[in-house]
Amino acid sequence: MKRYFWKYLTILLAIIFLGMGAVAGIFYYYSKELPPLSELTHFDMKVGSEVYDTNDELIHIFSVERRQLTNLNELPDFLIDGLIAVEDNNFYQHWGMDLFGFVRAVVANIKTLSFSQGGSTITQQLARNMFLTLDKQIPRKIKELLLAVQIEKHYSKQEILEYYFNKAAFGPGLYGIEIAASKYFGKEAKDLNIAEAALLIGMPQLPSGYYPFRYPQRALNRRNFVLKRMLQENVITKQQYTEAVNSKIELHEPEINHGAADYFLEHIRKKLERKYGTTQLFTGGLKIYTTLDMQLQQYADSIMNAQLTKLENRNDYEVKYADFPVDTVNIATDYVQGGIFSIEPQTGYVKVMIGGRNFNHSKLNRMTQSRRQPGSAFKPILYTAALDNGYTPATVIQDEPVSFIQSDTLFWKPHNYSNRYFGYTRLREGLKKSRNIYAAKLIYDLGPEKVTDYARRFGITTPIPPVYSLAAGSLDLIPYELITAYTTFPNNGERVRPIFIRRVEDSQGNILESAEIEKIRVVDESVAYIMTTLLQSVVDEGTGRGVRWQPAVGKHSSISYKWTAAGKTGTTNDFRDAWFIGFHRKLVTGIWVGFDDSRTLGKSQSGAVAALPAWPFIMKKAIYLESPKNNRGKPIVDASQYKFEKPDEVVTVEVSKETGLLPKSEYEKTIKEYFVPG
C-alpha cells in the first residue's frame, strides 16, 4: 500500500511540475511578445491637438483618437468608486489579477465554449487598451495578465485609475472621460452628477453598443445596472439611487454646428501639418488658438445656405442642394455654390471662412482654391489708381458708346449693364451706378499696365493680363485675395495680411508660434478715405442699396442694417459670378455666388440679387456679438466705432452736381464732395 502511495504521489508531483513548467513556458513564450519595459514605464497618451476659436472656446481636436486628459484628483468620488464597484471590486487588494473573478470567467467560458466572459480587472483592461487588441482569445488573455502584473509593479493604484479614465473608450471615436462628459452632457467630468457618471461608467464594456444617441434604451438599462451596483457597494445612498434611477437621460445637443467650420479647419490643418508634421499635429497635444469666430461662422453658414436655397427655388434650377443627403461624401456639386470671407482690417484676423455649402460634398475651398472673375467688384482697384493719379470724385467723363480697335480689329466694345448711356457723368456717379463706360475710359487714360501694377499692390497674385477689359473685371483671381484687398480702404490705405492662427502652444504651454500683424502700404490714407466715401455712395444710393433692408429668408426674420457701410457689387458676363464685398471700419466681408462649372446663374442674377442679400444679416450679427448687453440681454451698439475717420488733409467743397466744378451761381444744384488740396 505504501509503495502505491509513493508511486501515485510521484506521478502527481510530476504532473504538477510538468504543468507548472508548461504554464511557465507558455508565459515565458508570450512575454517575449510584450512591449519592452521602457515603453511600459514611459507610456504616453496619444493626445490630439485642440483648436480654439477667437473666444478661446474649444471647437475641434485634430487626433487619431479623440481625447482630452483629466486629473484623477478633479473627479468626484462617486465616479471613481462607482467604476471600481462595477468593473473591479477588489481593485485595491489584487496585484493585477483578481483570482476569484478569473476562475468565475474560466468556468463560464468552459460551459459556453465561447470565451465571452472577460473577468478582467481594471488593470488588465488598461493593459489591453494600452498595448493589445480586443479579441477574446487565450493568447491575448495571457499577455493581458502579464502586462497587468508589470503595470501594477510600476504604477500606483491612483496612476492606474487616472490612466484608465483617460484611455478608455466611451463611444465611437471618443476616448477619455473628459471627452465623454463634454460630448454627452456638455460639461467637464468634475461636474457630472451621479446619473451621468453611471451612464459613462457603464460604457467602456461595450462603447458602440451602449452609445446613447443610437441605443438609448440599452444605455438606460446599463446605467441603471451601474447605479444598482453603486448602491450595493455603498457608493451612493438609497435616496441618491432613487433619484438617479428615476431620472431621464438628457443628452447635450450642441448649439454650434461644428461642420460649418470644416473649410477653415482644413485650411489650417494643411498649414500646421506642413510646419509641425502629421505626428505632432495628431498626437502631440498642441493647443491651436485661431482667429475664427465660431458663432459668426455658424450663423453665416446658415444665412448663406438659406439665401442660396431661395435663389435655387426662385430660378427653378434643375439640380438643388436639397437633392443630396448632407452626409454624402465627395460628389459632383452641380448645385449653386457660395463662399464667404470675413477679415478684420486692423488685425488681419479671419473671422469667417466658408468655402462652400457642404464640406462633405466637396472639399474644394472656393475662397482660397478657386479662380473666379470679379466683374465690377474689381472696379475699386481701378478707381483707386485713378484717384492716386490726379482724378477726383468730381471728375467728369462722357458716358457714350465707345469701341476699342487695334489694327482695324474690334477687340472690345463695353456697354453699361442697362444698355443705356448717360452723358457727362461725375466719377462718384460712375462708380455708384457701376457704369462700365466710365471705367473703360478710365483705364484707357491710365493705361492697363498701371492698373495691373495697382492690382499687385492690393495683393492680387494671379496672372493679370494688361488689357483694357480689366476695367470690367475680366481676370481670374482668388476670391479671398480680392476681399482682403478691400481692407486697404477702412485701414487708412494699408492692406493687412490674413491671419488664421493667433498662436500655437505645445503640450507644456510653451509658445511655438505667435502671429504678428503685418500691414502693407498701398495708397495714401487720403486716397483710401475718398475711395471709401465713393463706396459708401454705392451702398447708400447705388447698386448696393439692398444692404439697408432684406426680407425674411428661411428661419431668419427680415432685417434692417442702419450702421456705416461701404462696398461694391460685382457681376460677370452672362451672370456667371455674383459678388458683394462690403465693410465698415472694423470688418470686411465678401460673398461670392456661382456654379463650379461657371454656367449662368440666370437672367438678371447680379451681385445685388444673388450675393448681397446675406451680407447685412452677417454684419449685423457681428456687431451684436461684439457689443455689450443690457440687463435684458439686448446689445448696446456704439455706432461711432464703425464710422470712417476723415484725415485732416481731406477737405469738403460744394461743387456743381452737373459739371463737378465750383458752382457759377447760387441757383446751381450742388453736392458736397471730398478733395485733397493741391
Q: Which residues are catalytically annotated? A: 87, 376
How many other CB atoms are there within 10 angstroms of residue 626's CB atom? 15
d(CA 315, CA 299): 24
Distance CA 664, CA 59 (A): 64
Closest CA to 559 of 639, 490, 619, 634: 619
d(CA 168, CA 67): 10
Identify residue 492 by its one-letter amino acid code: N
Nearest to 599 by CA among 324, 372, 377, 353: 372
User: How far is the CA of 652 from the CAs of 10, 355, 527, 657, 677, in angstroms?
Assistant: 118, 42, 14, 14, 10
For strand 287-290 and strand 501-505, is the pairing parallel, antiparallel, or unpaired?
A: antiparallel
- Angle ∠(79,224,121) on CA atoms, nearest 5: 50
Question: DSSP secondary-structure letter at 647?
Answer: P
CA angle 565, 566, 572 (to 5 degrees): 130
Distance CA 355, CA 582 (A): 18
The Cα–Cα gap between 517 and 530 comes to 25
For residue 186, the SS3 value is coil
Residue 175: its H or E element: strand 174-175
* Residue type present at position 117: Q
How far is residue 126's CA from residue 135's CA, in Å, rounded to a whole number? Answer: 14
For 584, what's the count of Cα atoms within 13 Å in the CB-facing half-sphere? 19
CA distances from 523 to 456, 520, 526, 527, 608 (A): 12, 9, 8, 6, 28
Distance CA 167, CA 162 (A): 9
Report the C-alpha gap between 581 and 608 in whole angstroms: 11
DSSP one-letter code for 36: P
Query: What is the number of residues in the chain?
Result: 678
- Distance CA(556)–CA(26), nearest Å, equals 69
Radius of gyration of the chain from Cα atoms?
Answer: 34
Inter-residue contact 397 to 439 (CB < 8 Å): no
Tell me if residue 485 falls in helix, strand or coil. Answer: helix
